[in-house]
């Protein structure tokens, strides 16, 4: 159901990406980017939630602060938060409250989790969700209100820190951004592209026309994905797909053409 174009049997040739139940496993989380001066988190995961939508999805969240601690970091060490977009699975740790459909009572929001950090998102993304209360979007009380006075905007091409640059990748949401991370000294030619939700699954590297159920503008999403994939067929580029459960980092190999028969001009 998340990839309507995959029906009825589009997964048949990609079954290795499904789990033993035939379900599509998804990781949800953050990327930590450390430079000599900066500690940057890209996206804030799902937050502390645990709920099921029967027959559709099971959500289990809550590990981000433990994962940071394992890197020797506490929330006050994070100086920059960048949101690729504001869907609920990318903003969950914005405050101490992560709204879940099964929450019995609303908890009190006590403040931002990363209180010292600049919080950045594109202008178009902020404008798209402002004042909305959609289940898939940023909660008005737990996310939008606490960010309203601190959010800064950062748009296409802007450098967040030396070597860390925003790439506008609209479609999944109107102000969606990806991130390019390179060596600021230029001595290492490799780069990492943090995709955000340009792709939700490795299958979209091959099936780039498969749109995702929650794409705000699915057609634009296909155009953006195609353009980006063409630029990324490069062995020095590592892609980081936050939802690519089990193998978040990888490379895109160029398409290998199939053989075709040509009978023209055989005998000159």
Binding site for Zn ion (CB under 5 A): 89, 197
Residue 146 or 241 with smaller CB distance to Zn ion = 241
CA–CA dist 144, 212 (Å, integer)? 24
- 49 vs 161, beta carbon nearer Zn ion: 49
Cβ of residue 90: shortest distance to Zn ion, in angstroms?
A: 6
Least gap, CB of 10 to Zn ion (angstroms) = 20
CB nearer to Zn ion: give 39 or 201: 201
- Shortest Å distance, C-beta 264 to Zn ion: 48
**For residues 60 and 73, what is the distance between their CA atoms, to the nearest angstrom?**
23
CA distance 46 to 138: 11
Contact predicate 244/27, CB 8 Å: yes
The smaller minimum CB distance to Zn ion, of residues 89 and 139, is found at: 89
Which of helix, strand or coil describes residue 88?
helix
Q: Which of 141, 52, 51, 48 is nearest to 96 (CA)?
A: 48
Nearer to Zn ion, 197 or 215 (CB): 197
**Cβ–Cβ under 8 Å, residues 197 and 176:** yes
CB of 89 to Zn ion, least distance (A): 4
Distances (CA, A) of 84 to 43, 208, 255: 6, 20, 28
Instruction: Output the smallest distance, CB 24 to Zn ion, in A.
Output: 13
């Amino acid at each position: 159901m998340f990839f309507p174009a995959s029906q009825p049997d589009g997964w048949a040739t990609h079954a290795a990406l499904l789990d033993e139940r035939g379900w599509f496993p998804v990781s949800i989380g953050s990327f930590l980017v450390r430079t000599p001066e900066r500690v940057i988190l890209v996206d804030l995961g799902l937050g502390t939630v645990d709920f099921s939508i029967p027959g559709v999805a099971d959500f289990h969240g809550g590990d981000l602060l433990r994962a940071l601690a394992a890197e020797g970091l506490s929330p006050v060490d994070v100086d920059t938060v960048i949101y690729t977009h504001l869907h609920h699975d990318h903003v969950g740790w914005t405050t101490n409250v992560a709204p879940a459909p099964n929450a019995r009572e609303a908890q009190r929001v006590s403040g931002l989790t990363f209180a010292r950090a600049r919080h950045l998102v594109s202008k178009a993304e902020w404008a798209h969700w402002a004042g909305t209360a959609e289940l898939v979007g940023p909660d008005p009380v737990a996310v939008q209100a606490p960010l309203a006075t601190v959010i800064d905007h950062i748009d296409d091409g802007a450098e967040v820190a030396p070597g860390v640059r925003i790439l506008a990748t609209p479609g999944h949401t109107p102000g969606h951004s990806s991130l390019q991370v390179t060596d600021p000294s230029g001595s290492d030619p490799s780069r990492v592209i943090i995709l955000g939700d340009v792709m939700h699954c490795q299958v979209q590297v091959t099936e780039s026309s498969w749109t995702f159920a929650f794409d705000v503008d699915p057609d634009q999403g296909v155009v953006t994905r195609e353009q980006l994939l063409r630029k990324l067929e490069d062995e020095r580029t590592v892609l980081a797909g936050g939802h690519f459960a089990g193998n978040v980092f990888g490379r895109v190999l160029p398409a290998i053409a199939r053989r075709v028969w040509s009978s023209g001009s055989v005998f000159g």
